Amino acid sequence: MNAVLEKIFELDPAQMRRKGNWLWWWWIFYFDEPRDKPKQVMVLWSTKNERKINCNGLDISLRHEFIKRDGAAWNIDGAVAAWYYDGRQMRENYLLNHADVLVEANRLGTKEPFTEFSREKNGFMVSAGDLQFQIGEPEKTGFYAPDSKESVFLKKFSYDIFKINRVPFESNAGRGTAYFQRVRINAPVPPWYWGLYHFEGGGAVHYYQPHLGASALTNKPGGGAFPVKKHFQFWDGRRLFDNRACSVRRVGGGNPAFIVESDGAAGKAKMLVESYSHACWAFRKGRLNRLDYNEYPALVKEFSFRNASGKWALDDLGQGRGNSEHATGFLW
């Protein structure tokens, strides 16, 4: 397990120095309470090899040598950001700072402001603002075990992801379950739908649908969407049902609902989630080169999955809480 988890903090300086390369470490925490609108926190450490980019009004201009050695650590010119839905209101720019991100074996963080993400004896620790999280050890097998994938496409672009789909946490603001991903991508970023939901009974749902369409040009929701990829996964606590088929429809503005459907070899699914808050990271490189990364804390209101082996409904799984993303625009 330790050898696998060490990949979280590994860096390839040659990859990092490629123009446009984007790297982030991303935790999202789903709290148990309040039940009607559970707290939620997202924490992000990130860098993108661009001369200049703006996020939520913060101009980030990288130094010439944006990755360099700093003693035992790699010093990366980047940013730390966090939003915090505290059960009553969204604190969108809870953290938003241009900062040196120091990465070493089993640890990364920033000095100004102080943040930290580290590997501990029995899990992980995250500190951001006034929040401190003690995160449990990931499971060794199944859908919640650490997972990594790498891909190269068009002989030019590359993508890799390391993720943990669910792990328990305790914090000074409450307890719940968390999701983690470390992503490095060297490719244009199109609009996408993404969601991950944890059920009280131990199950989970994940969906992902990057797409092209009007929202890539207008930076506004709506219009036709042509999927680049379609993926739907349902974990019932013991078995994984995996479909390479998925459709996502956004309903309403403000805090929208999302209708997710999947009909494939693993079974047929339909899910309705309703969001109760919203945070956005608005990236700007130019008039058309921009991305609005919208995140919506939400609850599962309806769920069904059936195949030859059985049927599952929301009553069988318990409350489902999580986050739906709808990114619009196109960033390259």
Q: For the chain, which domains are there?
A: 1-187 (2.40.370), 189-332 (2.40.370)
Q: How far is CA 323 from the centre of its chain?
A: 9
Q: What pLDDT is stored for residue 153 in this prediction? A: 79
Q: Is the CA virtual torsion 54, 330, 257, 23 positive or negative? A: negative
225: part of which helix (H) or strand (E)?
strand 225-227
Q: What pLDDT is stored for residue 222 in this prediction? A: 67
pLDDT tens track for 287-331: 889 999 999 999 999 999 999 999 999 999 999 999 999 999 999
Q: What pLDDT is stored for residue 155 in this prediction? A: 76
3-state SS string over 112-160?
Answer: CCCEEEEEECCEEEEEECCEEEEECCCCCCCCCCCEEEEEEECCCEEEE
> Is the pLDDT at 135 greater than 90, yes or no?
yes
Q: What pLDDT is stored for residue 1 in this prediction? A: 65
pTM of the model: 0.97
Percent of residues, the chain, with pLDDT higher than 90: 87
pLDDT tens track for 107-118: 999 999 999 999
Q: What pLDDT is stored for residue 219 in this prediction? A: 62
Name the average pLDDT for the chain: 95
